[in-house]
Amino acid sequence: MSADVSRAKRVSLTGGGDRLDRVLAKALPDVSRRAARGLISAGAVFVAGRRCRVASRSVPNGTSIVVHLPTMAVDDAPIPLPILFEDERIVVIDKPPGIHVHMTESSGEPSIVERWPNTVFPVHRLDRGTSGVLLLAKDKVLAARLMEAFRFRRVEKRYVAVVEGKVPDGTIDSPIGRDPRRPRLYAVRQDGRPAVTMVRTVASIENLSVVAVDLGTGRTHQIRVHLSSAGAPILGDRAYGGRSHVRIGERIVHVERPALHAARLRIALPDGERTFVAPVPADLRILDPAGLALETAYA
């Protein structure tokens, strides 16, 4: 299985009056009905603002449609996806930061699912800026089974984060919901969904700490929200109060994304329990000279 991600071009249409695959084939000269069905199945088509995976859906005239078309420009090199493990049923990658797991309507950026349309099915997700272990199934039956394991917390996930300041060891048990002031983000809210995060500090210097994080629940942005609410935002996580640069001794260190890494995943598979580990990514290695060895959070 190849392991790279190509860029995509976002095309906006206004059309309808037929089933979706025919509408796309008529509107896009280089897209056949078969290719249109492939795009739809891959989740690359959004109808009236929502992803649509049904090629036979009837589309009324005047409907807004967004399509992400894969491109292979000469100067647009594929983004590598390091494979940690692969067999006939699953593939486990070390997801680089800056890549969506699923394509979004507003973004022409690459996604993991786009790279392997109709052949892999993510069973969990990582935020765009988060790196680390990502598990994908190669058939829908196994994907459903593994998604259930994640849903009912039969999976062990270990994250490592670099935070500003210090956070007490222990459990953060605070519900999370949409932030009314910033609808794309989340916040601790009494009317939110239950969220439980276990935190342990493994290394620290004057203004930064490395923490090992285990999850009792799996809410969107949970680690980022909980650590920010504890007064220790993740370095580089500007959405939740983290700075993109910090002084370490005489150096100014720049971190361009949240310093959050999915380090380890343990899960029961059809052939038995397996553990997958993603090494510390290169962009966070810049913290090593300060004594913040992120590997200490793996144990």
- 165 in helix, strand or coil? coil
User: In the structure encoding, which two tokens stand for residue 110, read together?
Assistant: 């690459």
3-class DSSP assignment, residue 140: helix
Query: Locate tokens 């913040």: which residue?
Result: 292
Backbone angles phi, psi at 296, to 5 degrees: -65, -15
88, 138, 274 from 141: Cα distances, Å: 14, 9, 19
Per-residue buried b or exposed e for 191-213, using 16+ beta carbons within 10 Å of the residue's own CB: ebeebbbbbebbbbeeebbbbbb
Q: What is the DSSP letter of 198?
A: E
Active centre residues (catalytic)? 127
7 touches 110 (CB < 8 A): yes
| CB-based contact 249:206 (threshold 8 Å) | no
Nearest CA among 257, 185, 243 for reference residue 219: 185
Rg (CA), the chain: 21
Count CB neighbours of 27 within 10 A. 16
**Helix axis angle, 33-41 relative to 20-27, nearest 10°?**
120
Show the tokens assigned to 170: 């222990």
CA 187 – CA 226 distance, rounded (Å): 8
64: tokens are: 């807004």
